[in-house]
Amino acid sequence: MEIIVKPIGTIHSPFKTKDDISTQRNADPRGFDSIRGTLEILPAHTEGLKDIDGFSHLILLFSFHKSREEKHLVRPPYETEERGVFSSRSPHRPNFIGMTVVRLHKTKENILEVSGIDMLDGTPILDIKPYITQDLKTDISLGWMDKD
Amino acid sequence: MEIIVKPIGTIHSPFKTKDDISTQRNADPRGFDSIRGTLEILPAHTEGLKDIDGFSHLILLFSFHKSREEKHLVRPPYETEERGVFSSRSPHRPNFIGMTVVRLHKTKENILEVSGIDMLDGTPILDIKPYITQDLKTDISLGWMDKD
């Protein structure tokens, strides 16, 4: 069973290559909060943006378009042990789909100004969803990522 | 540009058809918290589940496999006005990809017992990611969904 998906737009980011993203920034849960970028939605999909400006945060689904290798075990930065890919946010995952929550600042026609950008310039957007109460979980355990 | 994705497993849910999900439950932000289900991961991907049992919450990406119609404007339950699909969680969206955060209760080999299930039985899973600090946003505005 194969499912075909198509980009609905493109992310414009200050990160032109993966070397522009430091592992230090990656390790900091707030490391990308100040990073601004724009989402350029294809004109064919602009109508779907109606009412989006009332939401403070958006869930972006995107394609890790530079990833080629699918791995089941990955070694995250600063880690000595290999972790299962489904317990990581590694781009080297089956289906190469990424998910990031961004803050929405401004909407003008098919252009959305956002912050919290942690993906590369030119990343294809697969979906935009409003971040809602159901997505907010406070009593969370972080497994191997919990360093405290 | 087309991207091909493949299921990594299947969701077993008490909801056999969409009529099993009341609009009342849908409208309640905690309406699905108690709904239990299992994620059955394909044996080929089981290795990727290593270390997942340390996380309390998982992000599920899945295919709205019963959706056929892609709409840019949708009329959510109890709403009189049409809303842009990207400001809604409607299944009638470009690429038909859904996202739900579930609570992980137990992992045994390729079977994950979870709660917070709001999708239909037989739903194809596209990805599982750990829910991490970056996904937790507290100062949120809910646009047209804010009824308070």
> Can you tell me the ipTM of this complex?
0.96
**For B11-49, how does the pLDDT look when each residue is reduced to its tens digit (9 = 90+)?**
999 999 999 998 889 889 899 999 999 999 999 999 999
Q: Count CB atoms within 10 A of the CB of residue A18.
A: 11
Q: Which residues of A touch B103 (CB under 8 A)?
A: 137
Angle made by CA atoms B33, B97, A7, in degrees to the nearest 5: 150
Q: What is the DSSP letter of B88?
A: S
Q: How many CB atoms lie under 10 A from the CB of residue B136?
A: 15
Domain boundaries, chain A: 9-133
Q: Please judge whether B29 and A134 are an interchain contact, meaning their C-beta atoms are less than 8 angstroms apart.
A: yes
CB contact under 8 A, B124 and A1: yes
- Where helices occur in chain A by DSSP H, the ranges are 23-27
Residues from chain B contacting residue A126 (CB–CB below 8 Å):
3, 95, 97
Per-residue model confidence (pLDDT) at position A92: 96
pLDDT of B84 > 90? The answer is: yes
Res B7: pLDDT: 98
The pair of structure tokens assigned to B66 is: 């019963």
- At residue A27, the pLDDT reads 85
- Cβ atoms of A65 and A15 within 8 Å: the answer is no
Cβ contact, residue pair B94, A8, below 8 Å: yes
Say whether A87 and B55 touch across the interface (CB within 8 A). yes
C-alpha–C-alpha distance, residues B103 and A18, integer Å:
32
Residue A23 has a pLDDT of 85
CB spacing of B56 vs A141 below 8 angstroms? yes
pLDDT of residue A148: 63
Q: Say what the pLDDT of residue B1 is.
A: 82
Nearest residue to B42 (alpha-carbon basis) of B78, B67, B2, B10: B10
Share of chain B above pLDDT 70, in %: 99
Which of the listed CATH numbers 2.40.30.70, 3.40.50.300, 2.60.40.10, 1.20.120.520 matches domain B11-133? 2.40.30.70
A54·B2 Cβ contact <8 A: no
Return the pLDDT at B148: 63
Query: How far B77 CA lies from chain A's nearest CA (Å)?
Result: 16
Scanning B36-65 for CB atoms below 8 A from A yields: 45, 47-57, 59, 61, 63
Contact A86 B56 (CB under 8 A): no
Residues of chain A with pLDDT under 70: 148
CATH of domain A9-133: 2.40.30.70
Question: For position A24, what pLDDT does the model report?
Answer: 87
In angstroms, the first-to-last Cα distance of chain B is 42
Mean of pLDDT over chain B? 95
Set of chain B residues whose Cβ sits within 8 Å of the Cβ of A72: 45, 47-48, 50
Higher pLDDT, B147 or A60: A60
Q: Any chain A CB within 8 A of the CB of B68?
A: no
